[in-house]
Amino acid sequence: MRRSAVRKPSLLIAVAGAAVMSLAAAPPGPGGAAADAATRAPAAAPASADAPLPPKSPVAVGYGGAVASVDPDASAAGIEILRRGGNAVDAAVATAAALGVTEPYSAGVGGGGYLVYYDARTRTVRTLDGREKAPRSAGEDLFLENGRPIPFDQAVTSGLGVGTPGTPATWATALDTWGTVSLRQALRPAERLAREGFTVDETFRKQTADNQARFADFPASARLFLPGGAPPRVGSTFTNPDLARTYAELAEKGVGAFYRGRLAEDIVRTVRRPPVDPKSQRVVRPGDLTTADLRSYAPVRQAPTKSSYRGLDVYGMAPSSGGGTTVAEALNILERTDVGKLGQARYLHRLIEASRVAFADRGRWVGDPAFEDVPTKGLLSQRFADSRACLISDDAVLTSPVPAGDPRRPDGCRSGGTAAPTPYEGENTTHLTTADRWGNVVAYTLTIEQTGGSGITVPGRGFLLNNELTDFSFAPANPAVHDPNLPGPGKRPRSSMSPTIVLDGGRPVVALGSPGGSTIITTVLQTLVGHLDRGLPLVEAIAAPRASQRNTAVTDLEPGLWASPVRDRLEALGHVFKENPEIGAATGIQLLPDGRWLAAAEKTRRGGGAAMVVHPHGRP
Question: Residue 333: which H helix or E strand, with range?
Answer: helix 323-334
* Distance in angstroms (rounded) separating the CA atoms of residues 545 and 558: 6
State the average pLDDT over residues 279-296.
Answer: 97
pLDDT for 246 beyond 60? yes
Whole-Å CA distances, 532 to 42, 313, 335, 355: 48, 12, 12, 17
DSSP assignment, residue 64?
E
pLDDT digits (tens, 9 = 90+) for 129-154: 999 999 999 999 999 999 999 999 99
Domain ranges in the chain are 301-420+491-594
Entry pTM: 0.92
* Distance in angstroms (rounded) separating the CA atoms of residues 328 and 2: 53
pLDDT value for 274: 98
Whole-Å CA distances, 47 to 44, 169, 221, 224: 9, 36, 22, 17
Q: Taking Cα atoms as reference points, which of 487, 493, 465, 517 lies closest to residue 159?
A: 465
| Residue with the larger pLDDT of the pair 340 and 419 | 340
* Distance in angstroms (rounded) separating the CA atoms of residues 25 and 180: 17
DSSP for 224-261, written as a single string: HHSGGGSPPPTT-EE--HHHHHHHHHHHHH-THHHHHS
pLDDT value for 316: 98
pLDDT value for 42: 39
Q: What is the mean pLDDT of the chain?
A: 91
State the catalytic residues.
429
pLDDT value for 484: 96
Strand partners, 464: 457
pLDDT value for 52: 67
CB 212 within 8 A of CB 198: no
pLDDT for 367 beyond 80? yes
Angle between helix axes 344-365 and 519-532 (nearest 10 degrees) is: 140
Fold for the domain defined by 301-420+491-594: Serum Albumin; Chain A, Domain 1 (1.10.246)
pLDDT value for 480: 79
Q: Taking Cα atoms as reference points, which of 338, 330, 385 lies closest to residue 354?
A: 330
pLDDT value for 509: 98
pLDDT value for 426: 56
pLDDT digits (tens, 9 = 90+) for 482-525: 999 999 999 999 999 999 999 999 999 999 999 999 999 999 99
E strands, 499-545, in order = 500-504, 507-513
pLDDT for 472 beyond 50? yes
Please report the sign of the dihedral spanned by the C-alpha atoms of residue 307, residue 313, residue 317, residue 323. negative
pLDDT category at 229 given cuts 50, 70, 90 is very high
pLDDT value for 618: 75
* Distance in angstroms (rounded) separating the CA atoms of residues 398 and 413: 13
pLDDT value for 477: 77
pLDDT for 610 beyond 60? yes
* Distance in angstroms (rounded) separating the CA atoms of residues 561 and 606: 18
pLDDT for 117 beyond 50? yes
CB 433 within 8 A of CB 118: no
pLDDT for 18 beyond 80? no
pLDDT digits (tens, 9 = 90+) for 288-324: 999 999 999 999 999 999 999 999 999 999 999 999 9
